[in-house]
Amino acid sequence: MLRLNKLNIIGILMILFAVLLTVTNFLSNAVLSLTHPFLEGSSQGKSIILFTVMGSLLLFYPLFKSDGLFGKMISSLNPHLKIDSQKYLKFTIITIFFTYLVGLFIEIWIRIKLGIPILTTFISYDSNYFSSTSLTHSHVFKSVLGFVLHSSGIYVSPHVNTGIALAQYTLPISLIVLITLPLILIAGITALSGEKDIHKVILAFALTLSLIGILDGGLFSTPAMIGLLGLLSIYFIKKPFSLRNLVKPSIILALLIILRLSIGIVGSNVDIHEITIINPSDNIYLEGYDVSSIQKEGNKMIVKIPGTINDKVLLLALKDDLKGKCSGFTLSWDIYTYFK
């Protein structure tokens, strides 16, 4: 029988709070303000996932200790699987990095296959659904979530973006996440078993953010970077603690931030927005846009407009205006418009 300690109780409270967020709305704005800096979420869905997953990790980790029900089962499978928190944490970090890298590969593979620019935001349509993705904010694994939900016959409102419209381009490679996510969860919760209470909380938080980052955002998203920083920090901590323990995690985070900014800068087109429309219909009229040129290449239409509009504003407008008139489109970005 599971004996509750203070972390287990905190876990239960977090799960109950997630249920409260699900059935009520009066705390939505306050929670969004609190979680937005590290979740990048515009809805409370990510907040619900955060409290549910983190709460579950804190509640059930005793079962994965060396003397716990599942810990004994895992250890009995093979001597190499003997519970060792440091070993399982290392495996968790490696598997998370591997999953992120596969996500980046899929992003590039989609664009090569379609013959579209790599450093662009890609928007795909599928019936009433649409999804966007890019190297800097990837949704390729989110498409697997949508695929599983829709294949199971579960109705999902078109207003809820499950990434299903991308599934036609990401499958079957993206299905690897159905293997890596369970491995990350099992190894991650096992890694919690041997740490101090404060380290358990940090690990549970970092692991949850990493899982959210895999499904929504990819390697260069805020949840992914904060999650990796937390996991790496705990991994490199030695006894007695020294600030030197945080040097390697900080360097890795700094390199990721530099790489993220470099991709954004290299891919930026300051003068124009280039829109590549895939399989356009004959009734595309971009009225209201200051179109400077239109060029047709095979099954694509390349439209250029002045780069004076914010990327996000233009993306949302094109998403509605091109719906039902093409199978998808890409939009070049200008990172500098976010600082104007």
pLDDT class for 2, splitting at 50, 70, 90?
A: low
Domain that includes residue 331, residue range: 272-339
**211 and 277 both lie in a single domain:** no
**pLDDT tens per residue across span 224-250:** 999 999 999 999 988 777 888 899 999
Same domain, 76 and 110: yes
The CATH number of residue 299's host domain is: 3.30.70
| Highest-pLDDT range among 84-88, 97-101, 113-117, 320-324 | 97-101
Q: Is the pLDDT of residue 33 over 90?
A: no
Residues 253 and 284 in one domain: no
Cα of 143 vs its chain's centroid, Å: 11
For strand 300-306 and strand 272-278, is the pairing parallel, antiparallel, or unpaired? antiparallel
pLDDT value for 339: 58
User: Which pLDDT tens digit goes with each residue over 142-154?
Assistant: 999 989 988 888 7
Are 135 and 9 within one domain? yes
Kindly tell me if the per-residue pLDDT of 14 is higher than 90.
yes
Strands (E), the chain: 121-126, 129-133, 272-278, 293-297, 300-306, 328-331
Q: Are residues 156 and 286 in the same domain?
A: no
DSSP for 238-291, please give it. -SS--GGGGHHHHHHHHHHHHHHHHHHHHTB-SSEEEEEEES--TT---TTS--
Phi-psi group of 217: left, alpha or beta (phi > 0 → left; psi -120 to 50 → alpha; rest → beta): left
Whether the per-residue pLDDT at 56 is higher than 70: the answer is: yes
**Pair (223, 298) in one structural domain:** no
- If asked whether residues 68 and 215 sit together in one domain, one would say yes
Number of domains composing the chain:
2
Q: Give the whole-angstrom CA distance, residue 189 versus residue 87.
A: 12
DSSP tag of 78 = -
Where is the domain boundary, 267, 289, 323? 267
Q: In the listed set 267, 298, 331, which residue is the last one of a domain according to the structure?
A: 267
On whether the CB atoms of residues 169 and 208 are closer than 8 A, the answer is no
**pLDDT average, residue stretch 73-87:** 88
Band (55; pLDDT cuts 50, 70, 90): very high
Q: Is residue 279's pLDDT more than 70?
A: yes
Q: Residue 288 has what pLDDT? A: 82
Would you list the DSSP string of 210-236?
Answer: HHHHHHTB-TTSHHHHHHHHHHHHHHH
- Whether 181 contacts 163, CB under 8 Å: no
Domain shared by 211 and 90, yes or no: yes
Give the Cα separation of 202 and 182 in Å (integer): 20
In the predicted model, what is the mean pLDDT of residues 244-260?
93
